Structure 1
């Protein structure tokens, strides 16, 4: 199998960073359908805050009137008015949650669905570069954070800023000096907020990226648990995980220190303002410039403002987390998709299965080396219904060549045609209906055996006689009768990645999946490598019956697989150096004889191992 280019982590964009507002504005297309309800939620929250601000005004009237005069009836009515305002405030808080929770989950759903759809459309080269843990943390953690921010963070941040602004203006109602003291004392909070954005923003991004790396480590360890146990490397994996977890812990502590610092100022400055205002208020009252009722109302208003002021720090940090989550999500949305449907697609009504490689060159786009292409001018033609074996030493480019007909990768130069049509001129859906694949590394999904095998036959009605007939035929060809012995037969749910099955069983199901698709062209990348010799012989006999009407390109790692083919193509250092029948190449090509002899040695080792087992 050809070694692919090593994966690399995505690099930060070189574009100038967006402001927090501009970054979060990218969520607007997802939020637009539910924007009216989000606005209603914000209005409800604002009304609740204004009701809270009106209570000190009522209190002032009560102190000046009924309480000073001792009129019990008016005191009762004043208390009822305050109770009514409190109940109305509670109702508005409930309405705020009613309006925003549903729309926020809808945005979360649309974001998650769009993100997953984007992952499906992006080319294989993207997935070569990105760690699965990074994608998983974006899909789950970051999108969930945006849902919470949209339902809670943004609404309360806007409402509390407005509340503080309105409340501060009302403080000037009683005396300009008290209002000015409160305003001047609170002014340093703006500088603190600016410093906080600079510091916390970078820490938030660092923390979320490190969480993605940690998720990757967990995923790799879980998938590779058999290897770690077999080699006794569990402690080594734990040490690596511990180092990453400790790094994340230090970053989280730095975030906590930054939050603690802004909370310190958010709590301290209002307390200083309260103390200064109390002193000034007592002096103004003694000088007759301020009434006791006004002083009480002033402090009642300042008390109402305390929570909105203190919450701004938390809500601001929440907003910066949401901004970082948005950046991380849209890094995936912004990835360039080079493998897309053509603007004016062509169609093949009756595919014959003629597959031709014309002057094909290929190199991985992120490969920085100056070496020659991995595929360096491939010219190869497969006639309709022909089975072509592809042989070559390790690293010659066999696996890379098999990825091109279905456009898992696009050629760097030249073209691949199907029935005379460049595969890039067909829609991906049509191309992949005509070209089926089975890989050496058999990947199965956590679904039933039936669903795994009929994965490529969405045209069949589930449970229909035709679907059952195709299912059984595919199982017979792949010699996968073992599925009938599973607890629920073909309806048995396969565990994650099919790891509950043996390697040979997984390969047989993957082969059955490729056969069930009934493509015009079948590309097989050594799909029998995990089978024992007897089972392989049975599968090959059945495949001969299937392949007589199907064009097949088969990567051969065993001499017996070569025998399946009508012709053999010899791949040497990225070039086709010989094409002919097995006997012709044995007679004419020294390199072919060397390749076949190495395959025979490997097969002899496998036979010996089977005997020993």
Structure 2
């Protein structure tokens, strides 16, 4: 599954499929503001079509007042041209005014839906997507869709109608000259169709490669300390250059396609104007056509030149939007494999916090060998069980199953006798708190980071949690105390400081069940001892599953479970296992992660 998800980033499932169906799926988002979008098209049509009247006024002026030297009759056609110009300007102003808000709201709504979907997907699905790909879809693709809804889509309709009306007016004005425009329009249709098929493939490739480049930039920023420490900044820089060089080649293919289209579309109207001039001149000398008709026809053809030429840009935007829509729906349509049950059960009141692993088996979605096999373990309310094992034995995998970051693939996990898959996710995660070995902090204040799982926590409760985690002193030493922003990933803090804040977040409010993945690994011996002393009081109040790599951490537990080869090999107190299990002695003596 992970391999399939990663492959989806490289190319669309069917690159020749037009993105119109994907774009059509946005109608429910557009429908509430449909009259604004329709109004924008109407105002633009009024603005554009008013320009088609000017050549007819020009014909009247040349064949009327000028031909007959009735210059006193020029004032009203002149005023009419001024009026048409004012109408044109008014239409442009009104279109921009009424379409700005709904198009911006569309972008916000789509981004919010995308963000919500990303939050609902399991960790396994996230592992299959590069972060840069998700970033480019959430930012660049949404901007592309906004521009398309506000500009390209309306003008595809407007310019098509303008060209059609212009041809009809040309035929009415002079059918031979109108026929020239019709004949010259036929190649444009075939050129546009061929362009759309080719451009869409290249457009999708370019957008995916942009996501790959964004991934490299994000990784280099987040891992800047490692890159500098190992002197490998140049290596990743060269990798980035290779990626953007590939992207440059793809973009040049886009430019080549666009240039070919623009050249052909720009040249054909010019040919039409030349033919109109030639035929019109001959018709005037043959006394078959008036000078006003020829001037009006040339003016009309010149006016239609821009709507025709702009089709190249608009079709490119259509394909970019279609590709962005495909990429958007790929995420939205991704199945949510961890979700609320149809009829959730509730935990008994009050929640005692008995945690049971009943033949729990787990395999990662990539189809590799099972990580956990038939794990059987019961943790009584208020009991602390330390989970011990060598690297790769499945400790962290087991901790991710309790809050349903992953789902078991066999057996079950129960809280107070209720299968956690039958619980509402919000209720489950309000009962279970987690502190991971690698502490994750957000670009927010210390207060916001610590109270992330308990946003209603009081100042006193937050400070108690900080005291327990031995974090009060360094937090008070920060420039703004609890309100100090810790920066992205909390990298402005040391590893031990980040871990202590993560621990404070986990113990805030004394949750019924705590899952702590080696929460003291980054602490020095003295700080660890102080934190352990504070933890003992909290652990008596909560059911705790504690991943331990140090004997001192394992000694905190009431019992220790030895995980070996994905299954529970032994259970007992720290002292009992030291005395009875050679494997446990080996693990406690050799593992320092």
Q: TM-score range by the shorter chain?
A: over 0.9
The number of aligned residues is: 589
1:121-166 Cα shifts (integer Å, max 9, x gaps): 1111111111110000111111011111111110111100110011
Unpaired segments ≥5 residues, structure 2: none
Once the 2 structures are TM-superposed, how far is the Cα of residue 364 of structure 1 from its aligned partner?
1.1
Does 1:354 pair with 2:354? yes
Looking at structure 2, the residues matched to 518 and 268 of structure 1 have their Cα atoms a distance apart, in angstroms, of: 75
Pick aligned residue for 2:488 from 486, 492, 496 = 496
531, 535, 553: which one aligns with 2:545? 553
The reply on whether 1:447 has 2:444 as its aligned counterpart is: yes
Q: TM-score, normalised by structure 1?
A: 0.94
Match in the other structure for 1:96:
95
Residues 1:108 and 2:103 aligned together: no
Q: CA deviation at 1:286?
A: 2.2
Report the alpha carbon displacement of residue 577 of structure 1 after superposing the two structures with TM: 1.0
The Cα offsets for residues 153-201 of structure 1, whole Å up to 9 and x where unpaired, read as 1011110011001101111112222111221122111111111111110
**Which SS does the other structure have where 2:6 is aligned?**
coil
Within 2, Cα distance between the matches of 1:432 and 1:342? 15
Distance 1:477 1:547 in 2: 11
Partner secondary structure for residue 382 of structure 2: coil
1:525 aligns with 2:522: no
- In structure 1, the residue matched to 2:581 is 589
Give the superposed CA RMSD.
1.6
SS across alignment from 1:338? coil
Of the three residues 469, 479, 485, the one matched with 1:478 is 469
Q: Distance in 2 between matches of 1:172 and 1:53?
A: 13
In 2, Cα distance between the equivalents of 1:29 and 1:41?
18
Where 1:9 maps in the other structure, the secondary structure is helix
Over 3 Å counting, the alpha-carbon distance change for 1:489 and 1:142 in structure 2 is same
* Post-superposition offset of 1:289: 2.0
Bigger mean CA offset, 324-333 vs 16-25 = 16-25
Matches of 1:15 and 1:423 in 2, distance apart? Answer: 39
SS of equivalent to 1:513: helix
Question: Contact between 1:174 and 1:290, CA under 8 Å: does it hold in 2?
Answer: no
Contact 2:2–2:125 (Cα < 8 Å) also in 1: no
CA–CA distance in structure 2, aligned partners of residues 518 and 87 of structure 1: 70
1:554 and 1:259 mapped to 2: Cα distance? 60
Do the aligned partners of 1:389 and 1:554 also contact (CA within 8 Å) in 2? yes
- Write the distance in 2 (CA, Å) between the matches of 1:418 and 1:366: 28
SS in 2 for 1:173: helix
2:460 equivalent to 1:469: yes
Which digits, 9 at most, give the CA deviation of each residue in 1:537-589, with x for residues without a partner?
A: 10011000111010000000111000000000010010001111112212222
What is the CA-CA distance between 1:450 and the residue it aligns to? Answer: 0.7
Q: 2: distance between equivalents of 1:189 and 1:5?
A: 44
Find the aligned partners of 1:419 and 1:5 in 2 and give their Cα distance. Answer: 34
- Secondary structure at the aligned position of 1:182 is classed as helix
Query: Distance between the aligned counterparts of 2:444 and 2:7, measured in 1?
Result: 32
Q: CA offset at residue 40 of structure 1?
A: 0.3
SS at match of 2:403: coil
Residues 257-313 of structure 1 deviation map (CA, whole Å, 9 limit, x = unaligned): 100000001111111111112111122222222111111111111111111011111
Instruction: Give me the TM-score of the superposition, normalised by structure 2.
Output: 0.97
Match of 1:170 in 2: 169
What is the match of residue 319 of structure 2? 320
Pick closer, same or farther for the CA change 1:432–1:273 going to 2, 3 Å. same
- Contact kept? 2:18, 2:322, Cα under 8 Å: no
Between the aligned partners of 1:527 and 1:558, the Cα distance in structure 2 is 11
Which whole-Å CA distance do the structure 2 matches of 1:268 and 1:294 have between them? 23
Q: CA contact under 8 A between 1:7 and 1:128: conserved in structure 2? A: no
